[in-house]
Copies of this chain bind each other. A is one copy, B any other.
Amino acid sequence: MTAALSPSPSQAARLQVRAGQWAKPTAGLAPGFAQANLAILPKALADDFLLFCQRNPRACPLLGVSDVGQPHIPALGADLDLRTDLPLYRVWRDGQLVQECADLHAVWRDDLVSFAIGCSFSFDELLLDQGIDVRHMACGCNVPMYRTNIPTAPAGRFAGPMVVSMRPMQAADAIRAVQITSRFPAVHGAPVHLGDPAEIGITDLAHPDYGDAVPVRPGELPVFWACGVTPQAAIAAAGIEFCITHAPGHMLVTDVKTLSLAAF
Contact of A50 among B54, B153, B179, B263 (CB under 8 A): B54
- On whether the beta carbons of A263 and B189 are closer than 8 Å, the reply is yes
- On whether the beta carbons of B153 and A264 are closer than 8 Å, the reply is no
Which of A120-151 touch B at CB < 8 Å?
none
Interface presence of A97 (CB below 8 A): no
Chain B hits for A189, CB < 8 A: 263
Interface presence of A62 (CB below 8 A): yes
- Interface digits, A157-201 against B, CB 8 Å rule (1 contact, 0 not)? 000000000000000000000010011010001100000000000
Given A182-B264, A263-B263, A264-B190, residue A65 in contact with residue B75 (CB < 8 A): no
Contact of A54 among B65, B183, B190, B264 (CB under 8 A): B65
How far is B49's CA from A65's CA once the two chains are assembled, in angstroms? 13
How far is B55's CA from A62's CA once the two chains are assembled, in angstroms? 9
Contact of A183 among B47, B62, B179, B264 (CB under 8 A): B264
How far is B130's CA from A256's CA once the two chains are assembled, in angstroms? 34
- On whether the beta carbons of B54 and A185 are closer than 8 Å, the reply is no
- Interface digits, A49-70 against B, CB 8 Å rule (1 contact, 0 not)? 0110111000000100100000
Which residues of A are at the interface with B, using a C-beta cutoff of 8 A? 47, 50-51, 53-55, 62, 65, 75, 153, 179, 182-183, 185, 189-190, 263-264
Residue of B nearest to A55 (CB): B65
Chain B hits for A183, CB < 8 A: 264
How far is B57's CA from A53's CA once the two chains are assembled, in angstroms? 13
Chain B hits for A65, CB < 8 A: 51, 54-55
Contact of A185 among B51, B62, B185, B190 (CB under 8 A): B185
How far is B66's CA from A153's CA once the two chains are assembled, in angstroms? 12
- On whether the beta carbons of B182 and A263 are closer than 8 Å, the reply is yes
Chain B hits for A47, CB < 8 A: 47, 50
How far is B153's CA from A62's CA once the two chains are assembled, in angstroms? 15
Residue of B nearest to A50 (CB): B50
Chain B hits for A182, CB < 8 A: 263-264
How far is B189's CA from A264's CA once the two chains are assembled, in angstroms? 9
How far is B190's CA from A47's CA once the two chains are assembled, in angstroms? 29
Residue of B nearest to A47 (CB): B47
Chain B hits for A153, CB < 8 A: 75
Residue of B nearest to A182 (CB): B264
Task: Output the least CB separation between A53 and chain B (Å).
Answer: 8
